[in-house]
Amino acid sequence: MSSKKHDSDVSIMVVSCDKYKDLWDPFFKCFNKYWSDCPYPIYLASNEFTYDSDPTITPILIGPDKDYSTNLIEMIKHIKTSWILLWFEDCFITSNIDTPRILRLVAAAQEYKAGYLKLTVDYPLIFTKDKNQEIGPIPKGIKYRSGIGLALYHKGTLQKLLEPGESAWQIDRSQRSNFIEEPFFALTTHLKKDPPIPVLNAVIKGEWSYEALKFMKKEGINDSIKNRKVQSIWSFLYIKLYLFRIAIYRVLRIYWYD
């Protein structure tokens, strides 16, 4: 991984906990393979264990596990930059990342003084006829407007979103973003087939997804598979139905409101 850091006041924080430490090795192998020139310092936030296989990763240790939101509040105290690219240990990069493209998106979010820029192509996406437009403001009141996921946050905005005692699901369903002054942005639908950060969600409710099994075997990083169960067929079908519903909204070019 390149040691040169881009001067954009951004850090990557990979959020994890010790019970997910079996994901760290496949995660960082994919990260280093597909984003070898990452320009940002990388932190791995967990409880008491560190990832020693890569000395370029800076550990953040917060002690015994608490609830999701309380953990995250403590983790971000250790980040000195004004912007945090929040990542999760079960979100594996699947193909090469174009660093100049990421720098451009980050610069755009900073120029717009955004509080949040969702960087994956799952819901919500922004509808626009301009095929050159890459990001746009997320309407207030829609579901998952500030869903916790792979996203760029202004540190102050992230702190406003978090309330101690909440689970990740409760944060996702929160309406607090509607009362925050900073605008919230997402990618446009034109990037659906060409995401700036191509990833897969490797673990669902503590179990390997079917997509992850295929990918890890292809990548030769399947040693970790034995450490977890594989999702059930019912879990797989539920996710497919959910994604089908989201696809209908996208085709109809409408948002899912609470």
Tokens linked to 238: 């539920």
Tokens linked to 241: 């139905």
Let me know if 28 is exposed, middle or buried by CB neighbors in 10 A (0-12, 13-18, 19+).
Answer: buried
Spell out the alpha helix ranges (H) of 195-232. Answer: 210-219
What DSSP element (H or E) covers 117? strand 116-118
Closest to 99 measured CA to CA, from 222, 245, 1 = 1
Q: Determine the angle formed by the axes of helices 210-219 and 24-34, rounding to 10 degrees.
A: 60
Sign of the Cα torsion 143, 145, 151, 157 reads negative
Q: How far is the C-alpha of 26 from the C-alpha of 92, rounded, in Å?
A: 8
Q: How many CB atoms lie within 10 A of CB 168?
A: 16
Domains for the chain: give ranges and CATH numbers.
10-252 (3.90.550)
Q: Do 74 and 43 meet the contact criterion of CB atoms below 8 Å apart?
A: no
Q: Do 223 and 208 meet the contact criterion of CB atoms below 8 Å apart?
A: no
Pairing of strands 10-15, 83-88: parallel
Give the per-residue pLDDT at 252: 87
Please list, residue by residue across 91-107, b when 16 or more beta carbons sit within 10 angstroms of its beta carbon and e when fewer do: bbbbeebebeebeebbe
Give the per-residue pLDDT at 1: 39
Q: How far is the C-alpha of 222 from the C-alpha of 101, rounded, in Å?
A: 30
Q: How far is the C-alpha of 187 from the C-alpha of 137, rounded, in Å?
A: 9
DSSP for residue 193: T
- The CB-side HSE value for 115 (13 A sphere, CA atoms) comes to 19
In which residue ranges of the chain is pLDDT below 70? 1-7
Sign of the Cα torsion 146, 149, 150, 155 reads positive
Q: Do 145 and 178 meet the contact criterion of CB atoms below 8 Å apart?
A: yes
Q: Do 59 and 44 meet the contact criterion of CB atoms below 8 Å apart?
A: yes
